[in-house]
Amino acid sequence: MAKDNVDLICDIGELAGLFEKSQSLSDFLQSAVSIVAFHMRAAVCSIYLYDADHEELTLAATQGLNADGVGKVSLKLGEGIVGTAMKELRPICEGHGSLNPNFKPIEGIFEENYEAFLAVPILLRGVMRVGVLVAQDPQPNYFHKNDIKALRAISSQLAVVIENAKLLMSLHEAESNLPVEKIDEDEALKPTFIKGVTASSGVVRGTAVVLDGHGYDVLTAPADDSVIPPGMKDFEVALQESIAQLTFLQNRMEERLGDVASLIFNAHLLILKDEGFSGEMRKLIESGMAADRAVTSVVNDYIGLFSKSKNPRLQEKVLDVKDLGHRLLRNIQQHGEDQGDYAGQILIAKELLPSDVLKFAAQNVEGIVIVQGGVTAHISILARSLRVPMVFVENAAILDVDEGTLILIDANQGTLFMDPSDSVLKQYDSLVNRSEVERLSVTPETFTEDGTKIKLLCNVNLLSDIEFAIENKAEGIGLYRSEFPFIIRNEFPSEEAQRLIYERIYRGMPEKEVVLRTLDVGGDKKLPYHHHDEEANPFLGLRAIRFSLKNLGIFKQQLRAMLRAGVDRELKIMFPFISSVDDFLEAKKVMVECMHELEAEGTPYNGHPKVGLMVELPAAVEIIDELAQAADFFSIGTNDLIQYLLAVDRTNESVSSMYVCHHPAVLRSVYRIVNSAINNDVEVSVCGDMALNEDMLKFLIGIGVRKISIDPQQIPRVQAFLGGLHTEEARRHARKLLRFGSLREVNQYLAELEA
């Protein structure tokens, strides 16, 4: 199969488009096998679904075999080539399927006409059996390694869709119409100003939408009994508008965020088309209930069912159902005039998953307020990449704010204003205009006042960040956080899917430096679909390179994808959380093994990658000279380095005041790393919030740092500061700071500078 067809199959945007014409799971599966057969130029493509209770596979859809066999042909686990692939959880590719000892002819489906046989298990989270995807062709030896890769990529996406459909099916088997618990609705004092913690900066205003208030009715304006209530026609129009809007959103997000937006609205579309959902609304309307009240009633029932389910995956769908209710009601009330989304609105919720943030950003939410304790790192980073201002607050009183209340978020300061005055609004409008002027004044290169070149790179989390990086004239990517496609998707992205992502990153920044960091999960960045033991202190547990070395299958897929994507570029691969030379060399050894595998396969790859590490652990600082002998480059991860040096959990509000980047131990450690890099002729860059503090940025330049990696939107401000800085002044500043042994002395010195 040609490479372009592999890419087409791996581009899940095409699968997403099938929802528009699919009315059920069987319709979707039939469309899927047709499109896969077309791209693979195979005579047959079939899907068998697995029933775990009976350990049995049933033919669910086929293109090429006798369609009469759908729903009738069954195979036990281990029976036939299909059952064997399912039992052993591995692809089986046969040039002559009939010669395989496990081949089992099935009468009536005309399978005997096809010799080449390829069966790939459909697995959820890498281990849970969902079904088998099969391709067949009359030409012997028709399928090759690329075909196996393509089917594995598409099967991982199918697993997610099938899971959501099965969740709906299991829901209908459960007890229906569970009562929604009533919450005491004592009137709380509604605040006018709340101080919180910034998660993603920006200044925005909008009307309040509360997703975690007292019941579901708060999502819609109260019905007006003086007008004719909306009826069946209004509902049907709103339903079709909602389906069209969600399909459009899915397609648009696949174009902009193909790395993470893998079928993010598939659950929405499946629920909308489910007769137990929309069909029940029709029944209530036919009985005389107004359309908006029917929507609210059914959505409340579903919220009760989902929230009381013992299945955690169903519990996660509560926000999806509320989101759907919001869209349906807005379309009923506004007749589709505002696309049913969150434009002009501020979302307030107790907690959001990364995928929720992505969905609401896709629906044009102005800003988000989350009511919980410490800032969660991956949620914050994601919001910044999506340019959605976000604030975390502890004051739960905001959950009682009236729907439609005007809210102004100053996420630069972490503050919220309820019903702000005209003077406050005017003041913040001027701030927004000033930041836009700063962005327009940025130049392609950065120099200090005396002409010293400082390279400003950017941190990239999503493909959409590249657009911001280009806008702000970043000189390259100093850190690509590869974990976000893993965190937001419902399944491990395959090697092919990862390769496509990395290639798009390179295409977005041609001829510029790009550093790809391997997977950094653990701590507060967990994979919801991966089984992991509960850890008393996850920040000191199986994190980053430790996770990768413990899960070599996942690690090797990622390294292979990086090596293949960087075939025609200077490739820089960086390992996170290195605590010893041994860790680094073991990770590098795995990379070399991947290179040997690709060589043996005849697959093009980059044979001379530069390999570096993030210096973010005190242990690495103590052996920095030895690491400098082994590595090609360093990136100092100041956020984690400060956290581990000072033993301060930066997500814990109780001790967050102790997290200070100007602590003497931090300053001396960073100086030691930079000095070792310079002495050993190793490239060194700094990544993290330390570089956004002007006093610390001045310190970094003073000790010899010439490469900084920051969020793209911070480049104009940092460049403007550096343009007024003289390097000799920075050196004097650094020497002064390094002489202090206590925080009191450092604080006093910095206070004198500001005076």
Residues labelled catalytic: 378, 687
- Please give the Cα distance from 263 to 542 (Å, whole number): 29
476-481 and 572-575: which strand pairing?
unpaired
Q: How many CB atoms lie within 10 A of CB 479?
A: 24
Q: Are residues 463 and 256 in contact, defined by beta-carbon separation less than 8 angstroms? A: yes
Q: Are residues 614 and 584 in contact, defined by beta-carbon separation less than 8 angstroms? A: no
How far, CA to CA in Å, does 225 sit from each of 222, 228, 230? 9, 7, 11
CA-based nearest residue to 19, from 258, 237, 239, 265:
265
- Enter the tokens of residue 693: 């503090």
Half-sphere exposure of 368 (CA within 13 A, CB side): 32
- Please give the Cα distance from 74 to 541 (Å, whole number): 44
- Please give the Cα distance from 387 to 717 (Å, whole number): 17
User: What percent helix, strand, coil does the chain show, rounded to 5?
Assistant: 50, 15, 35
Residue with tokens 């413990």: 550
Sign of CA dihedral 272, 276, 282, 288: negative
- Please give the Cα distance from 15 to 264 (Å, whole number): 12
Q: What is the dihedral of CA 301, 303, 307, 308, to 10 degrees?
A: 0
CA-based nearest residue to 330, from 319, 342, 318:
342
- Enter the tokens of residue 649: 């959990």
- Please give the Cα distance from 356 to 370 (Å, whole number): 12
Q: What residues contact 541, with CB distance under 8 A and at least 6 apart?
A: 522, 523, 535
- Please give the Cα distance from 155 to 12 (Å, whole number): 11
Report which secondary-structure segment, H or E, holds 515.
strand 513-517
Instruction: Kindly state the DSSP code that residue 106 receives in the 8-state scheme.
Output: -
How far, CA to CA in Å, does 113 sit from each of 43, 48, 63, 106? 10, 19, 14, 12
Q: What is the dihedral of CA 646, 652, 655, 656, to 10 degrees?
A: 80
Q: How many CB atoms lie within 10 A of CB 753?
A: 11
- Tell me the residue length of the chain: 755
- Enter the tokens of residue 565: 């994507």
- Please give the Cα distance from 14 to 118 (Å, whole number): 22
- Please give the Cα distance from 82 to 718 (Å, whole number): 58
Instruction: Kindly state the DSSP code that residue 657 receives in the 8-state scheme.
Output: G
- Please give the Cα distance from 462 to 481 (Å, whole number): 8
How far, CA to CA in Å, does 406 sit from each of 192, 207, 299, 325, 344? 11, 4, 26, 22, 10
- Please give the Cα distance from 25 to 165 (Å, whole number): 6
Q: How many CB atoms lie within 10 A of CB 347?
A: 26
Q: How many CB atoms lie within 10 A of CB 41?
A: 13
- Enter the tokens of residue 529: 């679909």
- Please give the Cα distance from 136 to 140 (Å, whole number): 10
CA-based nearest residue to 554, from 9, 156, 266:
156
CA angle, residues 705, 711, 714, in degrees to nearest 5: 85
Q: How many CB atoms lie within 10 A of CB 424?
A: 15
406-410 and 476-481: which strand pairing?
unpaired
